[in-house]
Amino acid sequence: MTTDQSTATPPSGRARLQAFGGFLTAMVIPNMGAFIAWGLITALFIPDGWIPNESLSTLVDPLIKYMLPLLLAYSGGHLVHGQRGGVAGVIGTIGLVVGSDIPMFLGAMIMGPLSAWIIKKWDGIIQPRIRPGFEMVVNNFGLGIIGFVLCIVSFKFIGPVIESLNSGLTWVINALVNTGILPLVAILNEPAKVLFLNNVIDQGIYYPLGMQAAQTAGKSIFFVLASNPGPGLGLLIAYWLFSGNKIMKETAPGAMIIHFLGGIHEIYFPYVLAKPITLLGMIAGAASGIATAQLFDAGLVAGPSPGSIFAYLMLTPRGSHLGILADVVVATTVSFLVNAALLRASARKDAAIGDAEFEQARARSAAMKQEGKSILAAATVGGAPVATRAISKVIFACDAGMGSSTMGASLFRKRLDEAGISVEVGNTSIERVPGDADVIVTHKNLAERAANANPGVEIVSIENYLSDTHIDDLYSRIESQQEANK
């Protein structure tokens, strides 16, 4: 079943922001192992580390100043224009790195994709005009000459501009820290999470600033501003104990394990969307946690990805464990108390709502309404006509392709295997869905973006990866297809 792009609604501003966050995530997440390696070296070997070592501590500065920004630049460039784009991104970014005294994470995330885009445009113009036999000469010298210009321009002109922007942003954030009002960022962070905009904040702002702060202090509070698993855990405990709705109550314990231990925070988003007033509890919990971290002067050495309690503990430097644990416990407690009060106040009303009616109410009360319905009208299970073509490959897609989509694909694959149904099930980020996918399963708040990134592919829009009627409908279709083929 295909989507008519001629009549499709243009992507909304929210979808564009989500896509931007997804691009940042695709640039950062593949390199998280390198960031964690740097964080462990910092936590262990700097003078204030667990096992100070003067020789090994000399690795800290080169890794953060050269390796990490260049990895980001290559990844960003590769996303735009493959290997040539990655090489162009590194050449353009090295000018920034050499010409600056600070780690150029922000610069790498700008210059890497920009350099690749320039090479992509050049290739689009020149390659169709290359005479046979001269491809290698033109391609190599074209990349070399343009890379040379980009390197010089970034060293002399772009670097100072980005350094000024970075300094201004750092000053604003530090002012929040120094004035004691940093907990107020929870008002921005928590709604952004359930709108799937958290990657714009984390990968675009907090992580680059955190790496700079950790270079000198060995830790940074920026890494815990939006990644704390405490508020989500408090919400899920409140649902488990006080929700009047059977579905939400029974799925909450499983969601707790996935969220708190697995670090897949997307699992609790539907619980907030089902009752948007619980955002008050999430904000209160997150703000309390940030205030506690400030009180203890606690921080992490690198960004925890995924946001699991295990990642938190592994990336906690010496002397900060009490503060980090207090941060999580306080955030959990405050979120639980506020959300418990909110859920108890409406328990009878929720209990009186049937399962079907609850699904409809949850959709209506979602904080983010799905836009561009015309894009999805011909490609959504649950209201739209169902595709009749055979399904051989199902892809679960999410923002980064490593969190909720992994969990959803695993559960669905197991369900098919137990029934003896042979259908390929995979997971990836929305922008990297394979071209031979028959169906894309994604959260409803990402469905518009999935449709825009993968025109002509059927989209199954869901709300809960653990229990969703649209996943059941998809399974029934595949099961019927299997029976028909016998």
Q: How far apart (Å, rounded) are the C-alpha atoms in residues 386 and 471?
A: 13
Q: Name the catalytic one among 398, 441, 460, 474.
A: 398
Largest CA distance in the chain: 77
Phi-psi region of 297 (alpha: psi -120 to 50; beta: other; left: phi over 0): left
Instruction: Please tell me whether residue 365 adopts helix, strand or coil conformation.
Output: helix
CA dihedral sign, ordered 29, 31, 33, 38? negative
Q: Could you write out the DSSP letters of every residue in 440-479?
A: EEEEGGGHHHHHHHSTTSEEEEES-SSS-HHHHHHHHHHH
Q: Could you write out the DSSP letters of every residue in 89-138?
A: HHHHHHHHHHT-SS--HHHHHHHHHHHHHHHHHHHHHHGGGPPTT-HHHH
End-to-end alpha carbon distance in the chain: 24
Q: How far apart (Å, rounded) are the C-alpha atoms in residues 58 and 2?
A: 56
Q: How far apart (Å, rounded) are the C-alpha atoms in residues 400 and 441?
A: 14
**Is 151 a catalytic site residue?**
no
Instruction: Please tell me whether residue 425 adopts helix, strand or coil conformation.
Output: strand
| Cα atoms found within 13 Å of the Cα of residue 7, Cβ hemisphere only | 8
Q: H or E segment at 439?
A: strand 439-443
Active site residues: 398
